[in-house]
Structure 1
Amino acid sequence: MTIEELIELYPAGKIQQTKAPSEALSLPIDGNYFVLAKETLRETEIRLLETLFPAKEYFVDKKNHPWFGYLFNQTTLDVEGTFRIIQFQLKKPKAFLQAEWENSIIEIFPNLDDFFFIRENDGALIEKYEKNHYNLEELQSIFLTLDADFDSSTTVFVGNYFPANEHLPALFKEEQQIFKTEAENLRGKSTFSLPDVVLHYFTKEAMNQSKIVQTFAEQLVLTSEIQQIILALWRNQGNISSAAKDLYMHRNTLHYRLEKFYEQTGLSLKKMDDLVFCYLLITK
């Protein structure tokens, strides 16, 4: 995207040579900054623009982190094997013990090949594949424990394992986009991977462009309660007992709610196809 296209999309934006205060969004482009007031933008717009125009001042020692140059500057990397990149966004308290937090990460991950902050609060762990690697549930427990110990809040995207070849930087760039886009739609889950969001990520544009879906969504009244039921069923793979437990609702009460919803809409949330459709409707 050129600066002319930005001006056409955001005519209220300003071009200046210096970065604006944190209250405004400063997008580096062509040696200058295109500055927008954050209050005029949706959170999803801010994340998308930050991904399209990443900040240049990275908080990383590039000499000590060759993976950084390989992923961001297309430099060569002399490694062999299969690796995954675990991206994280870290909300820190005012008195954050960063050195201790970093030491904990190094101690916890025995297969860590590199680890660095890309920006002040965003970073990446480069983990080589070994049979004893952590699964998604174990990773969620690890970061929840760290958050409890350090009074922080961490959102984590666990990338897939890929060979360290010329294709990996491009694959990582796409994983970055998925992380930035889907982190806002987690609804209670702080650690996720591609299978958790693949359906929503790759169908939302088609859903938003479909007149049939738009008309159906307008006709379908999805109350706050039924939306919570849909999300609970989705998280529990349609299991009614588990969903009822998450909702602090008696199983028979949940059955009654599902039957009423079927009578009103013709959609049975007990059927996975109908549940998937309703899930996409409330997250599109």
Structure 2
Amino acid sequence: MINKILAYFPDSVTHEIFPDKPSADYLWFKEEDEGGLWIGIPKEHVSESQLDLLKSLFHHLNENDSRELSGPAHIWKQFLFHEGSSPYATNKEVRFIQFQLNAKENVSDEMDEAFQGFFPDHTILWVTNSYGIIVEEKKEVSEDEEELEAISATFESDFFIKINFYIGKFQEVTPQIRAFFHKEKQLFEQSLKLSTREKILTFEKAFPTILASSLPEHLKVIMKSTILKAFEEDNELMATIKVFLESNSNASLAAKKLYVHRNTLQYRMDKFMEKSGVNLKDFDTAVMVYLACLFAEFP
């Protein structure tokens, strides 16, 4: 693969370790394999579509947008991105909570202080001015989705900036955790491209969306002519069915989330089953319909 990239972009350069002073004229990528090469490709030679493809094949690091780090944050950055030594003398379990800010301007000191206040016991690693990582050691009590939802809401109300989180899985800190982290980073990036509606993402939440986006063409055709046809010109019906399935097929809970009477919910469900010819009480059918709902939401 690396030879094909170098042949396609002959002005590219390679390094075994990331350069101390990387050129701002290059886009930097790294092979996913442990000990892989860093590849620098001239920006002017890469189109937007090519950049998206390269990001799907390699780890991409934009150093031009990076922030100065020190202490544990610097050590973690060296470990995750530059083949640095382990931050711990003995193996510990950590997980990476990634965050992405929807902000064009640089992060203010007030925002930085807010992050430190929300996560005083964790290492916060700013990779760029809009993307970072919270390194959380495994303890009896961990950050949960509700807390991150509240933090996301606070940032939106206080700083008028939307923020998305991805909660990773706990893993032992070994050299192999680098590759695991970059897979999670790739999953987070892919999920945000498909939808930013979910403020808090996990593997379990991201998986159905990724799956729905990569369905074979013949399955999409069948889905469009059956399930999605039942939703034609009726977005309310699709939203109702989606919320019902996300509520574990609990009609009372779904009606509460939708602010409708349970009888209204039942009427909409019966209408959908009549139009589509499927039974939502069947598990396999429910999975298929949910994927169809996700697919219909893509841009």
Going from structure 1 to structure 2, the CA distance change for 1:167 and 1:18 (only over 3 Å counts) comes to closer
Aligned to 2:155: 146
Alignment of 1:174-189 (within 5 A): 174-186=183-195, 188-189=197-198
Amino acid at match of 1:236: S
CA offsets per residue over residues 36-66 of structure 1, 9 Å max, x none? 3x6xx6xxx9766545444243513355411
CA distance in 2, matches of 1:132, 1:35: 45
Going from structure 1 to structure 2, the CA distance change for 1:18 and 1:197 (only over 3 Å counts) comes to closer
Percent pairwise identity? 23
Gaps of 5+ in 1: 8-16, 21-25
SS of corresponding position for 2:135: strand
Q: Which residue of 231, 236, 256 maps to 2:242?
A: 231
| Number of equivalenced pairs | 260
Give the deviation of 1:201 after TM superposition: 2.7
Q: Which residue of 102, 110, 116 maps to 1:100?
A: 110
Going from structure 1 to structure 2, the CA distance change for 1:158 and 1:240 (only over 3 Å counts) comes to same
Going from structure 1 to structure 2, the CA distance change for 1:4 and 1:269 (only over 3 Å counts) comes to farther
SS of corresponding position for 1:57: helix
Amino acid at match of 2:201: F
Going from structure 1 to structure 2, the CA distance change for 1:169 and 1:252 (only over 3 Å counts) comes to same
CA distance in 2, matches of 1:31, 1:259: 56
CA distance in 2, matches of 1:229, 1:87: 31
Aligned to 2:285: 274
Does the alignment pair 1:135 with 2:144? yes
Aligned to 1:215: 222
Q: Which residue of 71, 75, 83 maps to 2:80?
A: 71
CA offsets per residue over residues 209-259 of structure 1, 9 Å max, x none? 5x2453242233023223212321233222222222333332211211111
Aligned to 1:57: 64
Give the deviation of 1:191 after TM superposition: 0.9
The question of whether the paired residues in 2 share the 8 Å contact of 1:93 and 1:152 is answered with: no
The question of whether the paired residues in 2 share the 8 Å contact of 1:97 and 1:150 is answered with: no
Amino acid at match of 1:241: S
Q: Which residue of 220, 223, 244 maps to 2:255?
A: 244
Going from structure 1 to structure 2, the CA distance change for 1:133 and 1:219 (only over 3 Å counts) comes to closer
Aligned to 1:85: 96
SS of corresponding position for 2:287: helix
Aligned to 1:12: none
CA distance in 2, matches of 1:259, 1:162: 45
The question of whether the paired residues in 1 share the 8 Å contact of 2:97 and 2:134 is answered with: yes
CA distance in 1, matches of 2:285, 2:9: 40
